[in-house]
Amino acid sequence: MSSFGYRGHRGQGMNEQIQSSLLSLSREAAEFGPFDSILESEAEPDALWFLREHVSRGLPCVWRGAVQHWPAVTKWSNDYLRQAVGSKTISVAVTPNGYADAVREDLDRFVMPHDEAMSVTQLLDVLEGKQESPGVCYLQRQNSNFMEDFAELWKDAELEVDWASKAFGSKPDAVNLW
């Protein structure tokens, strides 16, 4: 092994080992699908049914209109957000092409976005094309950014989905706004 090289199992280089592992993971994930269909519903599910039929089986589902009753649905416009949280400084992800936390084959690297601090108003101006941007900007901070960064907006949304909390036996670990 050279001082600049990494040798993994059976003499594989780091990139070969990562690629092999990713292919293996992809094959294993495919064993769970493809799904013949994805349940789409507008009716709120019973928590036990949701747990038994979807969570325990790992089956995808879509609940359309699940948050239609939230004030955010009608109140949150760019003007409203500027007024409510416009001056708040947030962490914004910036990438050349909108892809982050992803493998860039042309670079043979896993890349993460550049995080830039800007106000909500500045982000909205970029998204509306009123301000130049060094790349594609988007809100993507995780680990409960809605709870930590946007307390002013809590009144417009519920902080949990009741039937999901019942199914999982706890409130969400994180609530994010993206």
Q: What's residue 95's pLDDT?
A: 87
- DSSP H or E segment with residue 19: helix 14-30
| Residue located via tokens 């990139």 | 15
Q: What is the pTM of this model?
A: 0.71
Q: Which residues of 22-60 are buried (b: 16+ CB within 10 A; e: fewer)?
A: eeeeeeeeeeeeeeeeeeeeeeebebeebbeeeeeeeee
Q: What's residue 81's pLDDT?
A: 97
Q: What's residue 39's pLDDT?
A: 84
Q: What's residue 3's pLDDT?
A: 36
Q: What's residue 166's pLDDT?
A: 93
Nearest to 58, CA basis, from 81, 80, 38: 38
Write out residues in the chain with pLDDT < 70, as ranges. Answer: 1-14, 29-35
Q: What's residue 7's pLDDT?
A: 39
Q: What's residue 1's pLDDT?
A: 37
